[in-house]
Amino acid sequence: METRASETPSGDSFFVRNSFLIYRLFSLSGLLPIGGYLVIHLLTNATVLDSPATFQKQVYTIHSLGMLLPVVEWMFIFLPLIFHAVVGMTVISTMHANTAAYPHGPNIRYTLQRATGMIAMVFILWHVFHMHKMFAAFEGLGAAQFDPHHAASSAGDALQASLFVQLGYFIGVVACVYHLANGLWTFGITWGLWLSAAAQKRAAYICGGFGVLVLVFGLSALFGMTQVDTEKARVIEDRMHQEQLRLQGEDVANDTSVDDAVH
């Protein structure tokens, strides 16, 4: 019988033969870089609570990577996330939910980990479409709302558009944070960091506390965006943009986008 390229003569696919390594990489990618990025992302966005200028400064720091930014985004965020999501969906497709028959804590958390993984996937796809400039061609459909030169006002406008948007972000942020905090606990088991029942109990408190802290960052960011006075923020951001251009030695007078935004 003919053997496909991805199979050994014994019939095991590439994924079955390398399942140990793939699962370890899947586990690692969930914590670093994806989990680490999630924490920094929520914390950065929460700085909007201080002021639109504080948030704008953070965004300028990130964008100072210039042409390297897309490379960093793809290498450390999008590709690991796609890998984690593809393996995660494969894990989910083989799961047998039995929480109705055995409704105890670990079993419920096991099911919630998978449910929040799926919610995170849908939310992140929508969020990237909603905010990221790579979808600028679909602006008419509500995409690519975030403008790095008008960080707080553009994110504020996007978040203040409707209650539906705010609810979507609330559910998405809560799901991502739960998934990370509970994932941190299962990560410790995957890598043998806490194996005894007592160690797992202690770790559960630490991961729970970590989850509450990250949730505070996330909900502060969300609340902060809904509170931005976008008109006032735009004036501050325009001034900061002009200062940026002056520092870069560019001719502000020729920059019609700044004039358009100010007037």
List of residues contacting ligand HEM (CB under 6 A): 27, 30-31, 34-35, 38, 84-85, 88-89, 91-92, 113-114, 117-118, 120-121, 176, 179-180, 183-184, 186-187, 190
Mapped onto helix, strand or coil, the DSSP state of residue 92 is: helix
Write down the least CB distance from residue 154 to ligand HEM, Å: 22
Q: Which is nearer to ligand HEM, 34 or 233 (CB)?
A: 34
Question: 31 or 235: whose CB is closer to ligand HEM?
Answer: 31
Nearer to ligand HEM, 17 or 109 (CB): 109
Closer by beta carbon to ligand HEM, 102 or else 163: 102
Judge whether 220 and 72 are in contact, CB under 8 Å: no
Nearer to ligand HEM, 121 or 222 (CB): 121
Q: How far is the CB of 183 from ligand HEM (least distance, A)?
A: 3
**In the complex, minimum distance from the CB of residue 193 to ligand HEM, in angstroms, rounded to a whole number:** 10
- Residues 170, 78 contacting (CB under 8 angstroms): no
Report whether 221 contacts 45 (CB < 8 A). Answer: yes
Angle, helix 52-63 to helix 151-159, in steps of 10 degrees: 110
Q: State in angstroms the smallest separation of the CB of 65 from ligand HEM.
A: 22
User: To the nearest whole angstrom, how small is the minimum distance from the Cβ of residue 139 to ligand HEM?
Assistant: 25
Peptide bond into 33 cis (omega under 30): yes
**What does the angle CA 257 – CA 58 – CA 142 come to, to the nearest 5 degrees?**
55
Q: Which residue has the tokens 């739960």?
A: 178
Which single residue is written with the structure tokens 């989990």?
A: 35
